[in-house]
Amino acid sequence: MASKGVKPQSSAAKSIIELVLTVLAAIGLAILIQAFVVKPYKIPSGSMIPTLAIGQRVLTNRLVSHPGLGDIVVFHPPRGADPDPPVCGVPTEGGGFQQACGVPTPQESSQTFIKRVVGLPGDRIQIINGHVIRNGKPESDRYIAPCADGDGCNFQTPIVVPPGDYFMMGDNRGQSDDSRFWGPVPAKWIIGVAFFTYWPPSRIGIL
């Protein structure tokens, strides 16, 4: 009879252990998913307005290292993006007023940026009034905020995106620190492609 009184305690202890193990497994899985598959990011600036607002939060697919044209990408820029004003990997014609930066500095910055891919490896890029002319054809850019007059709006001398690199620009063309000034981004510095926005609730949806 005494042994019968022990079973409920043993069963309860077993249930607690199973619960703890389940919770630990779930936490471990969540950490692995964030580290290697999906990672959340908070938009720190207005460079992607009107597509993404300051403080908006997105999920990024970290399995994609070779994005497509038009993808919104999280990445580390070249270290030339760190100084103010930024530094290009090679001098540009006309002091930077005629030609966008076509070559990044060789070092990777620790900063994390989010921009849109407007040029793929090998593409010939011009920028006129804030609009990208890619291989002689204007981009379909109804998503952008118009670019006001200024040096960052016109780079009519073409550059060719180097092999393995991607040319990034913010949708807020007049208020974005991007590849125009510090060059294309090597594929190895790309963290992932943003695919979903989950905050604020009014803007939940697929990107």
User: Residue written as tokens 């970290």?
Assistant: 62
21: pLDDT confidence band, cut at 50, 70 and 90? low
Check whether 56 has a pLDDT greater than 60. yes
Domain count, the chain: 2
Same domain, yes or no: 31 and 49: no
The pLDDT value recorded for residue 11 is 77
Same domain, yes or no: 161 and 196: yes
Same domain, yes or no: 91 and 177: yes
Check whether 7 has a pLDDT greater than 60. no
Task: Note the pLDDT tens digit of each residue in 139-152.
Answer: 999 999 988 766 68
Check whether 43 has a pLDDT greater than 80. yes
Check whether 22 has a pLDDT greater than 90. no
| Burial classification of residue 35, based on how many CB atoms lie within 10 Å of its CB (0-12 exposed, 13-18 middle, 19 or more buried) | exposed
Same domain, yes or no: 85 and 161: yes
Q: Encoding tokens for residue 111? A: 């900063």
Same domain, yes or no: 6 and 78: no
The pLDDT value recorded for residue 148 is 78
The pLDDT value recorded for residue 152 is 82
Cβ atoms of residues 91 and 47 within 8 Å: no
**% of the chain at pLDDT higher than 70:** 81
Secondary structure (3-state) at 21: helix
Same domain, yes or no: 25 and 112: no
The residue range of the domain holding 13 is 2-36
Q: List the one residue out of 108, 107, 128 whose CA is nearest residue 180.
A: 128
d(CA 25, CA 149): 55
Average pLDDT in the 57-81 region? 94
64: pLDDT confidence band, cut at 50, 70 and 90? confident
Residues with a known catalytic role: 47, 115
Check whether 175 has a pLDDT greater than 70. yes
Q: Which CATH number goes with the domain that contains 144?
A: 2.10.109.10
Check whether 41 has a pLDDT greater than 70. yes
Same domain, yes or no: 101 and 17: no
Same domain, yes or no: 48 and 150: yes
Q: What is the mean pLDDT of the chain?
A: 86
Same domain, yes or no: 201 and 165: yes
**% of the chain at pLDDT higher than 90:** 69
Contacts of residue 143, Cβ cutoff 8 Å, sequence gap at least 6: 50, 51, 116, 171
Same domain, yes or no: 32 and 47: no
Sequential DSSP letters for the chain: -GGGGTHHHHHHHHHHHHHHHHHHHHHHHHHHHHHHTEEEEE--SSTTTTTS-TT-EEEEETT--SPPTT-EEEEPPBGGGSSSS---SSPPGGGGTSB---S--SSBPS--EEEEEEE-TT-EEEEETTEEEETTEE---TTSBPPPSSGGG-EEEEEEPPTTEEEEE-SBGGG--SHHHH--EEGGGEEEEEEEEEESGGG-EE-
Same domain, yes or no: 121 and 192: yes
Same domain, yes or no: 120 and 144: yes
